[in-house]
């Protein structure tokens, strides 16, 4: 099912929620560093609570709802993928490694040929 792209204008309340989410995130980071002398447990607790509050406020905005909808659509598409069997995956991997090996040898030979042409023949810089 294809979804249509609709541009929405953020309302003032949505903008305020996004600013609040950013402020909560920055505030939790600042509190994490300011509470350095209070103990590691308190630092991490404040940081995790601040990040969680920031995420909750963000997901209440239109942008947050769009992100959730995108995640659901992406998960639905991933479930439609037909993954290869083990034998097929091993064969494809072997083909890729073989191709990489052939290309490495080809590029090495090309490099050595050009080196020989330019340095030995044209410039006369014999080794």
Residues in the chain: 127
The pair phi, psi for residue 39, each rounded to 5°, is 125, 150
Q: Is the pLDDT of residue 18 over 60?
A: yes
Q: Is the pLDDT of residue 111 over 70?
A: yes
Taking residue 127's Cβ as centre, other Cβ atoms within 10 Å add up to 6
Tell me the per-residue pLDDT of 55-84, one tens digit each, with 9 for 90 and over.
999 999 999 999 999 999 999 999 999 989
pLDDT bracket for residue 30 (50, 70, 90): very high
Alpha helices (H) along the chain: 12-34, 40-59, 62-80, 86-115
Nearest to 10 by CA among 21, 24, 25, 26: 21
């Amino acid at each position: 099912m294809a979804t249509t792209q609709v541009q929405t204008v953020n309302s003032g309340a949505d903008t305020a929620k996004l600013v609040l989410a950013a402020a909560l995130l920055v505030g939790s980071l600042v509190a994490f560093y300011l509470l350095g002398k209070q103990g590691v447990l308190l630092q991490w607790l404040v940081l995790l609570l601040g990040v969680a509050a920031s995420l909750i406020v963000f997901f209440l905005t239109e942008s947050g709802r769009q992100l959730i909808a995108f995640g659901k659509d992406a998960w639905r598409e991933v479930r439609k993928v037909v993954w290869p069997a083990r034998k097929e995956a091993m064969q494809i991997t072997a083909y890729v490694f073989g191709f990489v090996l052939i290309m490495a040898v080809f590029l090495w030979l090309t490099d050595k040929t050009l080196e020989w042409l330019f340095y030995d023949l044209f410039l006369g810089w014999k080794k």
